[in-house]
Amino acid sequence: MIDIPIEQFEDLVAEALDEIPDALARLVDNVVIVIEDDVAPGSESLLGLYEGVPLTERDTTYAGAMPDRITIYRLPILAICDDQDDVLDEVHITVVHEIAHHFGIDDDRLHDLGYG
């Protein structure tokens, strides 16, 4: 497993977010993105997790809701990567995948698009 310090990993996530086209980035609403080392013990192994109400499902009852949460898990990503280029690619794929869930795109469609 490659080792990348948390600060450098945070920079990679920020870079992936910066690569989201402005037209889409402006539509992201009420979302916080956090980085954690790993999933909770006993949880399914994940690279990232979207928790919230997708934009496609929001209605008038959504007003005042707590922010949606996207979590990017550092250690699981590092565990499947051989080098820094692999990490860069996987972080990008994971960030796009979780942002897509915010837009209401499901896993099946993401797999079809190559972000599975």
User: Domains of the chain (ranges plus CATH)?
Assistant: 6-55+67-113 (3.30.2010.20)
Q: What's residue 116's pLDDT?
A: 67
> What would the two tokens of residue 16 be?
């992936």
pTM of the model: 0.91
Cα 99 to Cα 70: distance, rounded to the nearest angstrom: 8
Which helix or strand (DSSP H or E) is residue 14 part of?
helix 6-18
Q: What is the pLDDT along the chain (116 residues), one digit of tens a residue?
A: 789 999 999 999 999 999 998 988 998 989 999 999 999 999 999 999 999 999 999 998 888 889 999 999 999 999 999 999 999 999 999 999 999 999 999 888 888 877 76
Q: What's residue 109's pLDDT?
A: 87
